[in-house]
Structure 1
């Protein structure tokens, strides 16, 4: 019997990525697919050559297959039900972001994970990239000294069509959690407060606010500034954002596509110079892990095998979720929000 008997819940387009990255593992057997429409689950089974059972109820699927791991790839409003059902039946959970639809539901999931001794690990695939690991390496090594500012620019113009075009806050709700989580990953700090201004610029094809500027105070004293738009035609940034991290000795930058680097105050006598000379430090991009979803899944499985919390365990990821919902509260109220009570 495989170490992990997996029930996959939710058979939409994103589930194809999860299934493809999972089914080849020697220690995993997908024992059931669950969807509110059995025909959707059967179509996924046929697409991936799976002969597993098909269900429309997650609890029945767990009980009848002896599953010990649930992959929750449903819509956010379903995450609380799927996750808590799985935890109560003795399963660990790997889930899509956001971990829940509300902070109350997220806190309830964390409490149940503590109570049951099981875990929810959240898919934050943009942490898993050799370049972002290299950028963190520059920071961790003290290359630029103690940091005081981190900024991320995210400017793209995707014409999705469908539900995103009608959302009230499409950028922050559907995408910004990736960048917020990346910022926490890079500086190893958590959000303390946020001020956010949302707006919908001229020419936007979104009904809701497709642009935002957010300023976060972080637990280490750093200020994190996010500037983003999903209706910015021309000169696009990477989907990974464009980053600038400023420290007491210099600055590290990453354009989201190429290797990051730092520029620090150069050696030699520089006293009295109006603008000092700088030396460039190249980052080490030799990180050996897989990129994207597969890299995050590798970490999730490794955490289970080693009996530890994953990098994106719910007790950590709730802080990234707080950055999203706190920003929305700030935008709607027009005031700075204290995030201490959020998580």
Structure 2
């Protein structure tokens, strides 16, 4: 039975900055599938996704030197991520779980194998990895499909006299990820405003495919090898073949000191807005509508902007580099 994303599920984002070199992508191709196969041993695992940052939204000139795609074209990015002019590159890898405990349990039970695979990749890491864990507050995402699936999906919708879904093509779209820090006591107002804004964009903005709203729960320690000494130093004394015996972190050991992401949040509550768009052009226009469309601007200003502890929101732009074909089904 196919399972997938759902409201209330946990979503962990493994974040690393990697050197922009062909050897990094060769290593990702070799190691990535093995990590996914290992992760799938956990019954609470729902799906995965991996993205590479292509640029940043300029937000009407607030980030005036930013580009959505720091390459000659999206075709060049698809040909090779090395064509991106960012160095280092942000690699953000999603894994989705029934609950936060399933994520921590997998990393504890599969620690030796994950360590062996991931420790061999540290020579391409400039920063990280870090792994915040979120709860999916709400989502409106159509299923992934290939171009040959489109006639069937549209035909089924017509036959059942229902509205056709947005077309979400595998490996053929861009993702905008916006960080939002929210004032204490104004979280509910922010969530309401964000959901209304996202709903209006999906309904009216050309090329808007789907969205998720995520609330940060904390950060994982064991998954990023934040081990208490001397195990931390032992992790650097091997290329991966000799994992440390201890799995103790400064927050304790899984099942004894903690069961979910143990590193607590500090400061305002953090939310992440995940949006998918069909092209750079529609993404650039779509996010700009929150400033230039009077009706949408009013909803966004009164529901989102006035509730932020830090503004404006900062939108990183990503392209998919690995697809789980049941993700979001």
TM-score bin, normalised by smaller chain: under 0.3
Of structures 1 and 2, the larger Rg is shown by 1
Using the size of structure 1 for normalisation, the TM-score is: 0.23
Higher relative contact order (CA 8 A, sep 6+): 2
Using the size of structure 2 for normalisation, the TM-score is: 0.24
